[in-house]
Chain A
Amino acid sequence: MKHSFIDEYSDLDSFIHRLDPRTKLIASLAFIVAVVLTPANNWRVFAFYFCIVAVLLILSKLPPLYVLRRSLVIFPFVFLIAVFIPFFKEGEIAGSYNIWLWQISVTYSGLFILANVMVKSWLCILGLILLSSTTRLADLLKGLRQLGVPKVMILILSFMYRYIFVLADEVMRMQRARDSRNFGGSRLHQIRTVGNMAGTLFIRSYERGERIYAAMLARGFDGQVRTLHKLSFRQTDAYFGAVFCLMLIFPCVIWW
């Protein structure tokens, strides 16, 4: 079955795709830190950072519509968290409404912060999309490993990514089997069926885990995770890293 992969376009070939995963990881992290630390009223800085991401996205040859659609996913989450800020922040009133017994007022500074949170999270998610769409997950994990993330974490992430789709397929098949036997009846009955499905899924995953472990043992696994080291920094990585950091610092220097 077809699922959307987080590294869907990682097979393209571009300057960005060819960079070492570690360069991209560190650059993404630096970018997020820079965006988050930028004071809220510096719109020019945000515009500048947007230009950086936009240029990199163009260089990476990712389809712009795909990036845009993906980036919109973040808004519901951020909106849910930040939507109340305009109502609680004190300051100049932008609008005041009477709803039955309550008087609700929205302040300019609250709206300003809301917009700011949205912009910051959108910039960050663009950076992450750039990272995850230009790096194969296997390479990303290898990069994380060489940056010192514990092996066990890497193994868990890698198994998670390998088997999440297998599990999703299993759930889909169970739902089909359920629907074809006319899933209906009382609400309580429905809830119980869903509970049973969750339990079955858990047991199946557990058994699959045991079979995978047996398959690993059969090929000489002894608890040590070994990998071939093949990542290597190249000159382009150094140039990219240097230029990127300068670009991040640039707005602070001229607009502060």
Chain B
Amino acid sequence: MDKVIEIKNLSFTYPDGRQGLKNVDLNVYPGENVAVIGPNGAGKSTLLLHFNGILRGNSTVKICRLPVEEKNLKEIRKKVGLVFQDPEDQLFSLNVFDDVAFGPINMGYAESEVRQRVARALEWVGVDGYEQRSPHHLSVGEKKRIAIATVLSLDPEVLVIDEPTSNLDPRSKWSLIELLKQLPMVKIIATHDLELVRALCGRTVVMDEGKIVADGNTEDILDDITLLKAHGLAH
């Protein structure tokens, strides 16, 4: 089967000498929902930033068989929608419309196409009619949804989300999980929230100290208490 994401022996060192990733191997196939779990500082976010070339390590990452290189970046960023943890960072425009339209406009779509994509993305996350609102007037749950809409408007093949449920109350959290379930594309989710993992992801990758220490069926991994304890995911 064609791999959606193919990472072979990837290492990454931050400019200050900290090693973010060590020899990471990861293949993701179509139709999969993958959870990336691990303690703070395990390298989850660092890994996510490699999926669309914001960070580039020593070896090649391939997205839908395209190597992550300067000349492919635009195509790759169209395919991989990356949602950052803090919606205040993701939503940088003065109103919701401009934010959701930012990606499509950068990709050079015509105005009518942009409007159509924005409307569809907002409808998808259930906040249609919010176009002219300013991000400062939204609740955290709404901001999270709109942050997801900002990449859905690009019709990505892979949705990469960093901590989608952080700072959400249980009700907003479960309605967000329902929303994510509806979305058809491949999802890669970095999180500490094991309830989310169980509800949404069939496959789980455990990271610690920049390495992948376990990779397999979610049920198996979440039931392996010794493994979770060893990596600070259970007490």
Contact = CB atoms under 8 A, between A and B. Distances in A.
Interface in B93-128: 93-95, 98, 101-103, 105-107, 111, 114
A230 B226 CA distance: 59
A220 B84 contact: no
A136 B78 contact: no
Contacts of A227: 98, 105
Given A219-B103, A228-B101, A228-B114, A161 B77 contact: no
Interface string A161-192: 11101100000000000000000000000000
B82 A138 contact: no
Contacts of A33: none
Contacts of A226: 105-106
Contacts of B132: 11, 136
Residue of A11, A136, A161, A214 contacting most chain B CB atoms (<10 Å): A214
A136 B97 CA distance: 13
B95 A138 contact: yes
Interface of A is mostly: helix
Contact of A211 (B52, B84, B98, B102): B84
A166 B88 contact: yes
A162 B98 CA distance: 12
A208 interface: yes
A245 interface: no
A212 interface: yes
A215 B92 contact: yes
Nearest to B101: A228
- Interface bracket on A: 20 to 34
Contacts of A138: 93-95, 98
Contacts of A221: 102, 106
A203 interface: no
Nearest to A137: B94
B54 A218 contact: yes
Interface string B24-62: 000000000000000000000000010010100000000
Interface of B: 49, 52, 54, 74, 77-78, 81-82, 84, 86, 88-90, 92-95, 98, 101-103, 105-107, 111, 114, 132, 135-136, 150-151, 154
Interface of A: 3, 11, 136-138, 141, 158-159, 161-163, 165-166, 208, 211-212, 214-222, 224, 226-228, 230
